[in-house]
Amino acid sequence: MLYQSYQNYTDALEPIRSAARGALAMADMIPGFHFMGLNRNMTAFWEMSARSQLSHTRPDYNVDHVKVGKNHVAVREEVVLSHPFCDLLHFAKDGVPAQPKILVIAPLSGHFATLLRPTIETLLREHDVYITDWKNARDVHRSEGLFGFDDHIDLVIECIETLGAGTHVFAVCQPSVQALAAVALMEEDNHPAIPASLTLMAGPIDTRVSPNAVNKFATSHPIEWFEQNVVSRVPFQFEGSGRPVYPGFLQLSGFMSMNTDKHAKAHRDLFGHLAEGRADEAETIASFYDEYCSVLDLTAEFFLQTIESVFHEQRIAKGELTHRGRKVDPSAIKRTTLLTIEGERDDICSVGQTAAAHGLCSSLPKKQKHHHLQAGVGHYGTFSGRRWNGQIYPEIRKVVQATS
């Protein structure tokens, strides 16, 4: 009943949001209305009211061109592999000399892959970029079956196979475990499409290292608690009606509760900017929250298996992870160069949790192991912003160039 109650509440408030949108539209038709005394506060209130909801639809990537060398090149999106729960999306560029292929494994953790837009824009300058474009589980019919932890590993392998030998894999946050497992399995099988490099960014390889609030919350509750308290069924009005999921709105609530004061201040600032006519400052905040408040649901089986495998039992770190009954052995990795990246101030994936992958890849020569600890950034700063562009990305480019 949790999800249905949330949806009923959201639907009940739609007339208020609709009225606010209507008032804004009328104000736009009156010359100078937004600049008249108290009208600024009124329009700011209407704007905030109109925005007071989450989106469950994937935003546009809005990456239609990129600068390659001295030229601006058009970018178009192509689906090269379609899966019920994910599309492998290619940001194609015409008329550009061959560039190294890089497969971005986006996190499956409550947000759409468009959260990585800044990452993609940077990578596109010098790479042929593909991304796992996750679909909202509430829009996937139950007839499509389940999608669990093993299915995620299978999908990573299938994506690498689709791109072929020499691909560079770049896993952001949560899928670092699945990416490491996939490469280990491929190495052990002497697969012809073994990746040239594997970059793991802020991923929970070993959550026993410097456990943070996220880790402690996960381990302080048995798996049954999560199953009973956060798993719910998709409401009847959606394509995935009846599918058990971990709703995106719950995950977003959890993330926001970790920095309540920060988010409250941002919304106060947004109101102030709107009321005072500072359009650029308001747009910066609004654009961030448009993306941040676009959420997707995870299948219940994937969520619960991730909690159990990664946070409760730390299986890959302990050498106990299996994939469809087969042991996953990271020491099988002997050819794929490894790069791990961490943020000094990351409160979601603590320093040391990703670097733990180096100890697991014990057969990999030291010259093929690289680590970068970025000072002064939190979780999101590892893949967006000034330090991502100026200090983190060059490390990735260096590894890609050396192994292409």
pLDDT digits (tens, 9 = 90+) for 307-359: 999 999 999 999 999 999 999 999 999 999 999 999 999 999 999 999 999 99
- Domain presence at residue 223: no
Which parts of 94-247 fold into alpha helices (H)?
117-123, 149-163, 176-188, 213-219, 223-229
Q: In the predicted model, what is the mean pLDDT of residues 216-235?
A: 95
Domain check: are 201 and 332 in the same one? yes
Name every residue whose Cβ is closer than 8 Å to that of residue 127 and which is 6 or more positions away in sequence.
99, 100, 101, 102, 168, 400
Residue 43: pLDDT band with limits 50, 70, 90: confident
Does residue 59 belong to any structural domain of this protein? no
- 316 and 330 part of one domain: yes
* pLDDT above 90 (res 96): yes
Token pair of 302, please? 């994937």
Last residue of some domain: 235, 265, 292? 292
222: in domain: no
Tens digit of pLDDT for each residue in 126-154? Answer: 999 999 999 999 999 999 999 999 999 99
Residues 148 and 24 both lie in one domain: no
Q: Which residue segment(s) compose the domain that 371 sits in?
A: 65-217+298-403
Task: Tell me the pLDDT tens digit for each residue of 371-394.
Answer: 999 999 999 999 999 999 999 999
Domains identified in the chain, total number: 2
**Separation between Cα atoms, residue 245 and residue 233, nearest integer Å:** 6
Residues 6 and 140 in one domain: no
Domain finish residue from 271, 292, 313? 292
Residue 362 lies in a domain: yes
Q: Is the pLDDT of residue 90 over 90?
A: yes
234 occurs within a structural domain: no
So what's the pLDDT on residue 257?
79
In a domain, 6, yes or no: yes
Note whether 350 and 276 are same-domain residues: no
What one-character-per-residue DSSP string does 50-96 give?
HT-S-B-SPPP----EEEETTEEEEEEEEEEEEETTEEEEEEEETT-
Pair (27, 78) in one structural domain: no
Do residues 76 and 162 share a domain?
Answer: yes
Of all residues in the chain, what percent carry a pLDDT higher than 70? 99
pLDDT value, residue 35: 64
CATH label of the domain that carries residue 381: 3.40.50.1820
Q: Are residues 9 and 123 in the same domain?
A: no
| pLDDT-derived band at 37, boundaries 50, 70, 90 | low
Asked which of 258, 292, 326 is the last residue of a domain, the reply is: 292
Residue 271 sits in the same domain as residue 343: no
101 and 193 share a domain? yes
pTM tops 0.95, yes or no:
no
254/157 same-domain check: no
Torsion of CA 266, 271, 275, 281, to 10 degrees: 30
Q: Does the structure show a pLDDT above 90 at 290?
A: no
The answer to whether residue 31 scores a pLDDT higher than 80 is no
271 shares a domain with 171: no
Residue 264 is assigned to a structural domain of this protein = yes
